[in-house]
Amino acid sequence: MPYLKIYIHFVWSTKNRHPYLNTFESRQLVWNHIKENAKQKGIHVDFVNGYEDHCHCLISLGINQSVEKVMQLIKGESSYWINKNIDLFPNLKGEKFEWQSEYFALSVSESILKRVRNYIKNQENHHRKKSFGEEYDKIKGIFTSSD
């Protein structure tokens, strides 16, 4: 049996970075749904969190999983679920929810998993000081060194 241990930190935003998920409650509904849906599809979500216009997800890839397929399953199904359950998201005001088609994925060394989990966990506090745009510009270098 093959053994695979590949961690990927995924980040993607809402369409046009619109703050569709502008309440803590709406974000928790989406993050919990992403975890449950991923589990049903055999995708191991180690940690998921985000803010009003984006999502961070730390995933351990399975033996037959690709970055592209995992993102397709998670983003596609979660946007479908949000739109199907639009009454749970009154802030959408009849708009159709969409994720941006782009995303980025960074491989994560086992030696910095705790650091990445903490980073994802602290998104609420982090974004009180810094926008997603500022974060996006800096994130590529954040996880390349170990502390």
| Domain segments of the chain as ranges | 6-142
Going residue by residue through the chain, which has 147 residues, state the pLDDT in tens, using 9 for 90 and above: 678 889 999 999 999 989 999 999 999 999 999 999 999 999 999 999 999 999 999 999 999 999 999 999 999 999 999 999 998 988 887 789 999 999 989 999 999 999 999 999 988 776 666 665 566 555 555 544 454
pTM: 0.84
- Give pLDDT, residue 143: 47
Distance CA 78, CA 120 (A): 19
Helix/strand/coil percentages in the chain, nearest 5: 50, 20, 30
- Give pLDDT, residue 131: 60
- Give pLDDT, residue 51: 92
Q: What is the 3-state secondary structure (H, E, C) of 42-86?
A: CCEEEEEEEECCEEEEEEEECCCCCHHHHHHHHHHHHHHHHHHCH
Q: Which of 108, 86, 106 is nearest to 97 (CA)?
A: 86
CATH classification (class only), 6-142: alpha beta
Q: Which of 11, 137, 39, 34 is nearest to 82 (CA)?
A: 34
Say if CB 6 and CB 107 are below 8 A apart: yes
- Give pLDDT, residue 58: 98
| CA dihedral sign, ordered 140, 105, 51, 112 | negative
